[in-house]
Structure 1
Amino acid sequence: MDFSDIYQRMKFEAYEISEDERAQLTSYLRSPGSISTAKSHAGLLVFCYSSEPASENIELVRKFLAKHVEDYTRSAAVTGLYRIWKLGTTSDIDNLLGLVALWPEDSRYSTSISAIGCAFLLMHRLQDRRLSLALRQLLETLHEELRQDNELAVGLFIHACWSAYDNWAQSNLQRRIHFDTIEEALSIYWDRQRYFLEPIN
């Protein structure tokens, strides 16, 4: 099965996978080799968009969060659990906070990008102040790493600033924009207080 083709058809043509395709996809994701290939990225997205977050489905996707899973594939599991299914129990938030905290690992770059974006999404959706506090601290840390010329931090800082603005804009019915430069990200960073939840005094 060409998971990428199916995903594009679902995204742009409102395609619905057949029961036979779903059975093949589920069998593939359960196979041991699925954790070590980038093609599982699209497979996980197809699975999450076409399935309900039933306990057995959640358990299957969560296996792709493990440390030894290929990074690009792991990032799709994060997207599936927290952006597509929008899981938001206390344990889910704990897991997401743990994923965000692992950003310094170069081998988890794609996972970190997904986790940061999902954390901003759920912060607004759930009005979760733990996520807000963690993301504030992350932005401060990434900015400091930027000043220390940490190349890994550059893309994460830009993405975190864009995610902060984009999710705030959607929650407040403001115009969405896209940017990918340090200069644009810094303009968000200097005005960062508006993009987080008010702390509890």
Structure 2
Amino acid sequence: MDFSDIYQRMKFEAYQISEEERTQLTEYLKSSGSTSHLDSNTALLVFCYSSDPTPQNVELVRKFLGNQAKDYIRSAAVTGLYRIWRLSTPSDIDDLLRLLALWSVESRYDSSLAAIGCAFNLMHLLQDRRLSVALLQLLETLHEDVRQVNDVAVGLFRYACWSAYDNWAQRNEERRIHFDTIEEALPIYWDRQKYLLEPIN
């Protein structure tokens, strides 16, 4: 199967996969080598967009969160679980918080980016204060590491600031912007509480 072609058709042509394609896709994801084939990134996105989050489907996607999966593939699993399916039980949020806490592991850079974006999205969607507190701590930790010239932290900090603003802008019908420099990210950081939930006194 050409997963990229199917994904593009789903995005731009409202294409719905056939039952035969769904069976092939599921069997592919269940196969032992799927955690190392880069095509699995797009396959996971197609699977999550075209399937319901049944216990069996969630279990299958969670397989790609493990250390045996390439991080590019793992990032699609994070996106599928928390942005497409928007899993939000307390245990799901616990799992997402654990993913956020692994940001300093260089081999998890892509999945850390995905987890940050999903966390900001779910924070607003669910008004989840645990996510808000965790994201505030993450922003502050990343900023400190940027000051210590940690290359891993630089990219994550820029993305976290952009994600903080972008999710806030969408919720408040403000103009969305794009930026990719530390200088552009810092004003968001200095005003970081604005982009999070109000703390409970």
- TM-score w.r.t. the length of structure 1 is 0.98
| Structure 1 unaligned blocks of 5 or more | none
CA RMSD of aligned residues (A): 0.7
Distance 2:180 2:10 in 1: 27
Distance 2:5 2:182 in 1: 34
Distance 1:107 1:99 in 2: 13
Moved over 4 A (4+): none
Counting only pairs closer than 5 Å after superposition, residues 116-195 of structure 1 correspond to structure 2 as 116-195=116-195
Residues 13-22 or 43-52, more deviating: 13-22
Name the residue aligned to 2:31: 31
| Structure 2 unaligned blocks of 5 or more | none
- TM-score w.r.t. the length of structure 2 is 0.98
- CA-CA distance at 1:160 after TM superposition: 0.2
Name the residue aligned to 1:8: 8
Distance 1:67 1:95 in 2: 15
Look up the equivalent residue of 2:82 and give its one-letter code.
Y
Distance 1:152 1:37 in 2: 24
Distance 1:67 1:166 in 2: 30
Name the residue aligned to 2:54: 54
Name the residue aligned to 1:199: 199
**Deviations along 1:46-82, whole A, 9 cap, x unmatched?**
0000001111111110111112211000000000000
Distance 1:54 1:79 in 2: 16
**Deviations along 1:129-183, whole A, 9 cap, x unmatched?**
1000000000000000000000011110000001100111111111111111111
Aligned residue-pair number: 201
Identical pairs, percent: 73
Distance 1:145 1:90 in 2: 30
Distance 1:173 1:92 in 2: 28
